Amino acid sequence: MTTKTTLTTRAHELVREHLSSGDIAIDATVGNGHDTLFLAQAVGPEGKVYGFDIQQHALDSCYRRLLEHKADKQVSLYHAGHETLPIVIPATLHDGRIKAVMFNLGYLPGGDKQRTTQISTTLSALDSALRMLSKNGIITVLAYTGHPGGKQEAESVAAWAATLDPHIFNIRVEKNSHSQRPSPELIAINKLPP
């Protein structure tokens, strides 16, 4: 694991193991839509992806990407913080079929660096995602430590994950092993099958 790109790819690899055509997935931080597109292609036209971002222009950028790849039909984008997850997607909509939730923390690349994810709303969304996740589903959190507040947010997510019951959840943390300082971290939480 040597670059940020590799950790993004690694998150996709881990999520792909849990997703099939027709599944439901959530992109909790849409940004420019790379993860949303990945999820939309993984679940296919029979599946469903819900995406959240607090910046409309991020959602617009994502929507253009989805259109380019003809993957827009299975995606609903919400101009809302991920802390509204359980309100926007009540149980009646997902029926326990959410197989993957991806978080890519920090700020929008090429955008306003002040508009970052925040510890309190990130942890609130993670708690909700955990409750909504189906058995054998996965949550991935890619946390960046180089911007103001990023290291504290990454540590808070790691501390939150460490409190989870190991009989119910498998937690893995992956970091870049070389050079890049400060380096991002990938935290993956798998809800074990019964």
Ligand X SMILES: C[S@@+](CC[C@H](N)C(=O)[O-])C[C@H]1O[C@@H](n2cnc3c(N)ncnc32)[C@H](O)[C@@H]1O
Q: Which residue among 33, 47, 137, 184 contacts ligand X (CB under 6 A)?
A: 33
Q: Binding to ligand X by residue 81, rule CB under 6 A?
A: yes
Angle at CA of residue 168, ends 98 and 50, nearest 5°: 15
Mark residues 115-154: x for contact with ligand X by CB under 6 A, - for none.
x-x---x---------------------------------
55, 83 contact by CB (below 8 A): no
Q: DSSP string spanning 3-51?
A: SHHHHHHHHHHHHHTT--TT-EEEES--TTSHHHHHHHHHH-TTSEEEE
CA dihedral 28→11→33→65, nearest 10 degrees, is -150
Closest residue by beta carbon to ligand X:
31
Q: How far is the CB of 135 from ligand X (least distance, A)?
A: 25
**Paired tokens of 71:** 């993957």
Q: Binding to ligand X by residue 18, rule CB under 6 A?
A: no
Q: Which is nearer to ligand X, 104 or 176 (CB)?
A: 104
Q: Binding to ligand X by residue 183, rule CB under 6 A?
A: no
Q: Binding to ligand X by residue 53, rule CB under 6 A?
A: yes
Q: Which is nearer to ligand X, 189 or 192 (CB)?
A: 189
